């Protein structure tokens, strides 16, 4: 029994050695850094695009539906949301990279496509989060603004959305975490992310155990750091609510 | 100043206002009374089109604001409104609450005037002001109004830290910041603790003395009797009685009003 364990541990030590050798001596760490960078770019820019799109969609969806243009935009938005929520993100990536862009004859890097698709995709989810946030703001806030002679959009921008954002910070954090984890599929279109970097490390040494373990550890560290960040932001926002 | 012609408001199948005709002149203080569900709040909210009338016209300075083609925001700037639940902007300080709309409007005017100047059209030279001037002017007005209701030291706090009475006083001066021609009060004291009702009524009373045109929906009979120049009694979407406080309170003609007064006095 003891003998078996020692062999396993010894074996594991050897695996770590192989992994480290590849990482340091064969410059494997460069690919990991690039993967880390791409993962961060895709997640952060994706979230940013998603927030912009999501806010716009949410604003359209809560607007009063008197005018034709609003009803039209509303229909467009619901088609958009049902497409991006109704198909897997891998499918969207493949569609954009292998179908849409070649069809319109545009040459675009796989990282850029990933940023775009993650932005559009999270936009659909964030629009629902944002809509909930806007609806959670007391109706009186909108009435107060409108009664002063501010337009619907001005009241939305200055009064309602800032309060809605405060309400949805925790949910938004979840969305960001989900986004970071989902980036692990961008290698479907050939982008180098964390998964690809560690996968390459494994393929080169025929040894997958340690690389994948390291990958999981890096993901979890990133997510924990972000959770911490969200907590700090949340606390700060609450403070401005109560103070004075 | 405000003329309401044959106003009807229907929610789904529920007729709330059934052919209201009403004229409110400059300087009048009109108190609207009525049992709950009688449509008095809806009538008030129709006056600045917070509720869109189902049919009928509402003329404000001889412009029909019930017409959907009219830019309602321009007219609302001249119709101040105070709500039962104050509706102060929670993400803004008291001062920001008061300056937000005046600054927004002045900025818009300045932008428009600059554009007209650029294209060689006639423009109002007074409208062209720098952002700094606009902010300073709005702040000055706001501070002056705040000190009038004794809240100048609360300028930089958030509304959530104020008592109900203080919030309502801020809400009143916030509306006054726009220099409105008429003020609408939608049950301004109904959400307040009894001991805070007085301070809000005092502000309204002093406003009335200055000659502000006011339309007030309230349950404060004492206030109505003392301050109003005219009292309307509304039930089931119709104006049942319209007269001076003396006439309405002392010699009520309509049986429904007699019954109403018996219950509350």
Instruction: Tell me the domain boundaries of chain A.
Output: 28-238
Min mean pLDDT across A2-11, A214-223, B27-36 is at: A2-11
- pLDDT of residue B151 exceeding 60: yes
- pLDDT of residue A5 exceeding 60: no
Q: How far apart are CA A160 and CA A136, in angstroms?
A: 10
What percentage of chain B carries pLDDT values higher than 70? 100
What percentage of chain A carries pLDDT values higher than 90? 55
| Helices and strands: H and E segment counts in chain A | 11, 0
**Which chain A positions have a beta carbon within 8 Å of B74's beta carbon?**
149
Helix, strand, or coil here: B9?
strand
Which candidate in A144, A146, A162, A244 is best for mutational testing of the B interface (most B CBs within 10 A)? A144
* Cβ–Cβ gap B48/A147 under 8 Å: yes
Strand order in the sheet with B29-33: B79-82, B182-186, B213-217, B29-33, B230-235, B238-243
pLDDT for position A4: 56
* Cβ–Cβ gap B87/A149 under 8 Å: no
> What residues in chain B have their Cβ under 8 A from chain A's Cβ atoms?
48, 50, 68, 73-81, 83, 85-92, 100-101, 104-105, 156-158, 160-161, 174-175, 178
pLDDT for position A243: 45
CATH class of A28-238: mainly alpha
pLDDT for position A90: 94
pLDDT for position A244: 40
- pLDDT of residue A94 exceeding 70: yes
Cβ contacts below 8 Å, chain A against chain B, sum to 72
- Distance (Å) from the C-alpha of residue A73 to the closest C-alpha of chain B? 20
Among A143, A151, A242, beta carbon nearest to B73: A151
Q: Are B242 and B230 in contact (CB under 8 A)?
A: yes
- Distance (Å) from the C-alpha of residue A146 to the closest C-alpha of chain B? 7
ipTM, 2 decimals? 0.88
- Distance (Å) from the C-alpha of residue B237 to the closest C-alpha of chain A? 23
Nearest to B83 by CA among B44, B32, B28, B52: B44
* Cβ–Cβ gap B158/A241 under 8 Å: yes
Range A179-198 burial, b when 16+ CB lie within 10 A, else e: bbebbbbbbbbebbbbbbbb
Question: A161-182 and A209-242 helices cross at what angle (nearest 10)?
Answer: 170
| Minimum Cα–Cα distance from B99: chain A residue | A148
| Minimum Cα–Cα distance from B185: chain A residue | A147
Q: How far apart are CA A239 and CA A220, in angstroms?
A: 29
With the CA atoms of B184, B186, B188 and B191 taken in that order, what torsion angle do they form, in degrees rounded to the nearest 10? -160
pLDDT in tens, B12-30: 888 999 989 999 999 999 9
Which helix (H) or strand (E) segment is B147 a member of? helix B131-148
pLDDT in tens, A6-36: 555 667 788 888 888 887 877 778 888 999 9
**Average pLDDT in the A90-109 region?**
91
Which helix (H) or strand (E) segment is A67 a member of? none
| Minimum Cα–Cα distance from A161: chain B residue | B91
Q: How far apart are CA B248 and CA B234, in angstroms?
A: 12
Q: Are A152 and B49 in contact (CB under 8 A)?
A: no
Nearest to B135 by CA among B169, B175, B106, B94: B106
User: Residue B49 region, left (φ>0) first, then alpha (ψ -120 to 50), else beta?
Assistant: left
Global pTM? 0.81
- In this structure, how many other beta carbons lie within 10 angstroms of the beta carbon of residue B56? 18
Q: How far apart are CA B180 and CA A147, in angstroms?
A: 11
* Cβ–Cβ gap B73/A149 under 8 Å: yes
β-pair partners for B239? B234
What percentage of chain A carries pLDDT values higher than 70? 93
What one-character DSSP code corresponds to residue B152?
Answer: G
Among A149, A242, A244, beta carbon nearest to B74: A149
- Distance (Å) from the C-alpha of residue A134 to the closest C-alpha of chain B? 14
B96 burial type by CB count under 10 A (0-12 exposed, 13-18 middle, 19+ buried) = middle
pLDDT in tens, B196-251: 999 999 999 999 999 999 999 998 888 999 999 999 999 988 999 999 999 999 99
Confidence of residue B120 (pLDDT cuts 50, 70, 90): confident
pLDDT for position A8: 59
Nearest to A42 by CA among A228, A175, A179: A179
Q: Are A134 and A167 in contact (CB under 8 A)?
A: no
* Cβ–Cβ gap B161/A150 under 8 Å: no
Which candidate in A65, A139, A148 is best for mutational testing of the B interface (most B CBs within 10 A)? A148
Six-digit token string for A44: 């952060």
- pLDDT of residue B168 exceeding 50: yes
- Distance (Å) from the C-alpha of residue B172 to the closest C-alpha of chain A? 11
Q: What is the DSSP string of A108-174?
A: --HHHHHHHHHHHHHHHHHHHHHHHHHHHS-HHHHHHHHHTT--HHHHIIIIIHHHHHHHHHHHHHH
**Average pLDDT in the A188-196 region?**
89
Q: Mean pLDDT across chain B, nearest whole number?
A: 91
- pLDDT of residue A166 exceeding 90: no
Nearest to A201 by CA among A1, A34, A8: A34
């Amino acid at each position: 029994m003891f003998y078996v364990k020692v062999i396993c541990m010894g074996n594991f030590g050897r695996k770590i050695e192989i992994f480290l050798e590849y990482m340091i001596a064969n410059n494997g760490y460069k690919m990991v850094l690039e993967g880390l960078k791409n993962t961060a770019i895709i997640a952060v820019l994706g979230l940013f695009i998603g927030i912009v799109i999501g806010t716009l969609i949410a604003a359209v969806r809560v607007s009063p539906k008197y005018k034709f243009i609003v009803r039209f935009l509303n229909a467009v938005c619901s088609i958009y949301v049902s497409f991006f929520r109704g198909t897997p993100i891998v499918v969207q990536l493949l569609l954009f990279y292998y179908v849409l862009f070649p069809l319109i004859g545009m040459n675009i890097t796989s990282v850029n496509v990933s940023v775009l698709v993650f932005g559009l995709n999270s936009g659909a989810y964030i629009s629902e989060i944002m809509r909930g946030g806007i609806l959670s703001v007391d109706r009186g806030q909108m009435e107060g603004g409108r009664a002063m002679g501010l337009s619907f959009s001005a009241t939305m921008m200055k009064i309602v959305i800032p309060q809605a954002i405060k309400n949805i910070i925790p949910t938004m954090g979840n969305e960001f975490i989900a986004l970071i984890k989902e980036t692990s599929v961008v290698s479907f279109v050939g982008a180098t992310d964390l998964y690809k970097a560690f996968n390459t490390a494994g393929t080169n040494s025929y040894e997958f155990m340690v690389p994948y373990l390291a990958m999981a550890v890096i993901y979890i560290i990133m997510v924990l750091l972000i959770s911490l960040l969200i907590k700090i932001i949340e606390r700060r926002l609450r403070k401005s609510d109560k103070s004075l | 100043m405000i003329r309401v012609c044959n106003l009807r408001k229907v929610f789904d199948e529920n007729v709330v206002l059934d052919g209201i005709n009403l004229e409110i002149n400059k300087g009048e203080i009109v108190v609207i009374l009525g049992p709950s569900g009688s449509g008095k709040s809806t009538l008030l909210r129709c006056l600045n089109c917070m509720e869109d009338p189902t049919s009928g016209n509402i003329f404000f300075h001889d412009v029909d604001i019930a017409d959907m083609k009219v830019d309602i925001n321009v007219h609302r700037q001249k119709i101040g409104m105070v709500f039962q639940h104050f509706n102060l902007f929670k993400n803004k300080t008291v001062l920001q609450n008061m300056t937000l709309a005046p600054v927004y409007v002045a900025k818009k005017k300045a932008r428009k005037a600059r554009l007209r100047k650029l294209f060689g059209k006639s423009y109002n030279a007074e409208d062209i002001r720098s952002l700094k001037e606009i902010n300073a002017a709005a702040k000055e007005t706001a501070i002056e109004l705040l000190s009038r209701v004794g809240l100048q030291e609360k300028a930089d706090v958030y509304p959530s830290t104020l008592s109900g009475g203080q919030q309502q006083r801020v809400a009143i001066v916030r509306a006054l910041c726009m220099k409105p021609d008429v003020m609408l009060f939608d049950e301004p004291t109904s959400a307040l603790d009894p001991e805070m009702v007085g301070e809000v009524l005092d502000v309204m009373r002093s406003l009335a003395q200055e000659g502000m045109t006011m339309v007030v929906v309230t349950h404060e009979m004492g206030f109505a009797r003392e301050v109003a120049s005219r009292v309307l009694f509304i039930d089931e979407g119709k104006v049942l009685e319209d007269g001076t406080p003396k006439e309405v309170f002392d010699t009520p003609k309509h049986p429904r009003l007699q019954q109403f007064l018996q219950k509350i006095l």
